[in-house]
Amino acid sequence: MARSQLLLRILQVLLLANLAAAYTKLSEESLRAIPGPGDDFDIKTGKLLSPILIPRVPGTAGSIAVQNHFLNFFKSKLPKWNVELQNSTSRTPVSGNKEIPFVNLIFTRDPPWTTPGFSSRLTLVAHYDSKLTPAGFIGATDSAAPCAMIMHAARSIDAALTAKWDKMQADGMDVEFEDQQGIQVIFLDGEEAFKVWTSQDSLYGAKSLAAEMETTAFAAQSTFHNAISTISLFVLLDLLGADDPVVPSYFKTTHWAYKKMANLEERLRSLSLFESASKGASRRVTASFLPDSDKKSNRWLGGAIEDDHLPFMERGVEILHIIPSPFPRVWHTREDDGAHLHIPSVADWSKLITGFAAEWMELEGFLNANHTPSNHDRERKYARVPHANDKSEL
């Protein structure tokens, strides 16, 4: 291992330790304040989900329509987020000499006092493209529903981010040395294979974006040396929306984050804030989405599912992969459509991802826009976080 890579790895380990210490659990009051998606997840008329439930193969009109859906949502509902499109083209096994366009969409919100290169980012990710075959394939779990979950999470914490950061500035904190944690949403194009999954025919958008972020350098005095090093945790959602999912913990280095999300799920269930908990008996012994909190050290076998995280993981990014194993029954069939989504589970995942993002961003006391933070909230210290710098188709 090169000296520079070794140093980067050491600094990343230190970063994860600091992040684990800074992660702030939400109170019961705040958990109850996490909104559900309501009618926005209606498969016919829902403002978030239904526009994504169409075929959206890269380079097609459906793909462009979904891109516009994302752009219009952020520009109209979340105007404080920075919007960026990252474009690439590639030939595929079915396109001959024709270059297929791929468009990744990146939405970012950093503390208002930061400049590029000084803020790390929790990064929520899903792919939005759908498979070319079978004809008319929708991909509701793969990954229309995960995209809608992330949209809901971003919308649900936006006012709280504003309230927290406004309060920090109003309280006269030396923000230059305080909270430097932002948040980023990435919707990736071209995850699916056009013919048969191989290292060449897959992950088109992810490979392009990871390579570009690696070469996007910041000023020498910046905390982070390039764009990819700002990713504090890459949370990849995929194949979510079927009933009774089982999501293992895939990576030992981010098992602590998995445990935080699993604990959050347990607390939401204990407060009867999950819809799936009251919708009939589970077929499994446990109804938990995330059952691996107590995974033993001898169970880490090194295997993982090939997915959009790979080009980022190869560049040292820490990954929390939220994908069920086994895959949903409808995987890569025409039945992976809106009618086969388990909407209570979709709503619960939305709350869970929202809560995880709120805890990561330390939004305790700010989730209710009309809520006045308690004395405890006012006295909280906002810790600055220093930073360094196969989804197999079986």
Q: Beta partners for 321? A: 236
Please, what sign has the CA dihedral across residues 249, 266, 139, 64? negative
Cα–Cα distance, 289 to 355 (Å, whole number): 15
Cα–Cα distance, 160 to 188 (Å, whole number): 26
Q: How many residues does the chain have?
A: 394
3-state class (DSSP) for residue 108: strand
Cα–Cα distance, 107 to 251 (Å, whole number): 26
Cα–Cα distance, 354 to 150 (Å, whole number): 8
3-state class (DSSP) for residue 183: strand
- The answer for residues whose C-beta is within 8 angstroms of residue 112's C-beta and 6 or more apart is 165, 169
List Cα–Cα distances, 19 to 119, 179, 181, 246, 393, in angstroms.
13, 12, 10, 26, 34
Query: Annotated catalytic sites, by residue?
Result: 191, 238
Residue 132 near residue 58, CB atoms below 8 Å: no
Please tell me what DSSP assigns to residue 339. G
Cα–Cα distance, 186 to 105 (Å, whole number): 6
Give rounded-to-5 percent helix, strand, coil for the chain. 40, 10, 50
Alpha-carbon Rg for the chain in angstroms = 20
Closest CA to 178 of 390, 388, 387, 386: 386
Closest CA to 288 of 274, 305, 271, 303: 274
Residue-by-residue DSSP string for 224-271 = SSBGGGGEEEEEEE-S--SSS-------GGGHHHHHHHHHHHHHHHHT
